[in-house]
Chain A
């Protein structure tokens, strides 16, 4: 007992500090960094998920994926990331501005709007899978009642609409938290600025552009970068709604990597795709770390 209470005092602050971070660093190194690196190294081998044997093949996998799927996946990934980031950011901004006015029941409204964000991702996907269902879906039912369409549309089975459907589902679950971030940002803006601007004759739109938007810039950057990095690796909405189909029109890098490993059992090609994917992600991560270096350093 006495050793336990006196021992720590013999250690320097540096040592105690390092001991305290050690478990976290070990876990992250073993269960996050090591798997990441070893997945990518597999890209230089011919290796199957089903057998532990592997042979070094150099850049063969890389060349193979560059010749076949990669550019297609990249285009879909960037396209998905763009829309799945821009649409929720615009809607989130609109909702934040609306909730920031003195509406009655604001607290209840805020809780209500956050509900989709709390739901498990698969649940969101199930709901929209059912809504977009070609034969019995409520969307077809409503649109036919309103006379917008005359025949059922196979929303998830047609290349053009499948992509849109995924964006709608993804937006539904992510715009609430974006609104919350903007709302918190809006509340830090000094109201006197707006009064001064109004006296100078600035209209509503000008006040938004010249005061609100510049002051929300830090929040906007954080939100766009976080959403961007999440969307570049998004998996479950696409997996459940279309699993990359129809005809590969919604196959992103994350879907292709997963299918290459667990359906085609080709760890080499999955690793090669992963390597190219990581290059893209690293750019985003470096930007993200640069911007949020406050967090690391105070």
Chain B
């Protein structure tokens, strides 16, 4: 089939621009305009982070910087409060992602491969929790953790993060498990494997790409969270995103180079993950929505 297709296609005259979508010129112009829109803020983020503090307070700003310095970055790592936030971010993100993946694997496997009454209702419930407004949730979570004296604890944040990343992980994994043929499980059952052995020795190893995608989403979601840590964490357990707001935006002396350098530092881990696992991420995003 494919060979026939290609001969047909190459047999035709080569088109200047494709039939689907805009003309080549239109496409190039769109990419340039949206590219500039995308790039300029990133450029300005990087340039400002390398600007000496004094130069940031001149108007008009220098679009091509004159002096470059790493001062803002060394300041960040010399600030014990900021480095604490950084370590906190790492700790809660990793812990929450591990819990979310373990819990969602079992849940997704059950939703994908078992047939029982209430399964659809449970799937709906899990899916709909993703849409609960976090602003409203954190109010009651604040009271709940407060009454158990768990405010400002890692526990409260980790528990919240793993819960709020669960639905997404479940659906990424369920989509993945759906593609694993039932025959694989039936064969293992005939060989006398227990349910747990089937999950741990057969399903999970096969589902590695799905696990990676779900884990990435869990990590990125928790790492990027703002409102949960802002509400539930104290000075000792605060993560970087709300920590930066508290450090730079609520005090009178704001250092824009400092804030931009800190922004780059908090972005770097997710950018690196994204560049390494791009394929997993993009397939994770589009899986499940491009079925029909």
Partners in one complex: yes
Is there contact, CB below 8 Å, between A28 and B260? no
Min Cβ gap B208→A in Å is: 19
Interface pair A91/B34, CB less than 8 Å apart: yes
Residue A181 lies at the interface, judged by CB distance under 8 Å to chain B: yes
Q: Check if A189 is an interface residue, CB within 8 A of chain B.
A: yes
- List B209-246 residues whose CB lies under 8 Å from chain A: 220, 223-224, 226-227, 231, 241-242, 244-245
The reply to whether B140 and A120 contact each other, CB–CB distance below 8 Å, is no
What are 24 A-B pairs with beta-carbon distances under 8 A?
A5-B194, A17-B115, A27-B166, A28-B167, A33-B129, A39-B139, A42-B139, A102-B18, A111-B274, A118-B220, A119-B270, A120-B226, A126-B259, A130-B44, A136-B58, A136-B59, A140-B60, A181-B289, A218-B290, A236-B226, A258-B135, A258-B227, A271-B139, A296-B124
**Nearest-CB residue, chain A, relative to B244:** A122
Number of residues in A with C-beta < 8 Å to the partner?
123
- B177 nearest CB across to chain A (Å): 11
In this assembly, does B202 line the interface, its C-beta being within 8 Å of a C-beta of chain A? no
CB distance from B159 to the nearest CB of A (A): 6
- Interface of B, secondary structure class, is helix
Contact of B256 among A38, A101, A103, A136 (CB under 8 A): A136
The complex places the Cα of A40 from the Cα of B133 at a distance, in Å, of 12
In the complex, are the beta carbons of A180 and B104 less than 8 A apart? no
Type the 1/0 row for B259-281, where 1 means its CB is closer than 8 Å to any CB of A. Answer: 11001001100110011001000
Cα distance A27–B141 in the bound complex, in angstroms: 13
Inter-chain contacts of B118 with A (CB < 8 A): 18
Known contacts being A32-B137, A120-B224, A186-B20, is A95 close to B34, with CB within 8 Å? Answer: yes
Interface assignment of B1: CB less than 8 Å from any CB of chain A: no
The smallest C-beta distance from B234 to any residue of chain A, in angstroms, reads: 14
Q: Which residues of B contact A (CB under 8 A)?
A: 17-24, 26-28, 30-31, 34-35, 37-39, 41-42, 44-45, 48, 56-61, 63, 103-104, 106-107, 109-111, 114-120, 122-129, 131-144, 147, 159-160, 162-164, 166-167, 170-171, 174-175, 178, 194-197, 220, 223-224, 226-227, 231, 241-242, 244-245, 248-249, 256, 259-260, 263, 266-267, 270-271, 274-275, 278, 282, 285-286, 288-292
Partner of A113, one of B35, B48, B124: B35
Q: Select one of B116, B126, B138, B285 contacting A24, CB under 8 A.
A: B126
Q: Which residue of B lies closest to A99 (CB)?
A: B31
Which of B110, B127, B171 sits near A20, CB closer than 8 Å? B110
Is B20 a contact partner of A189 (Cβ separation < 8 A)?
yes
Residue in A152, A185, A292 whose Cβ sees the most chain B Cβ within 10 Å: A292
Cβ-defined contact, B17 with A27, below 8 A = no
Write the nearest CB–CB distance from B255 to chain A, whole angstroms: 11
Of all chain A residues, the one with the shortest Cβ separation from B257 is A130
Which one of A60-68, A78-86, A153-161, A276-284 is at the interface? A276-284
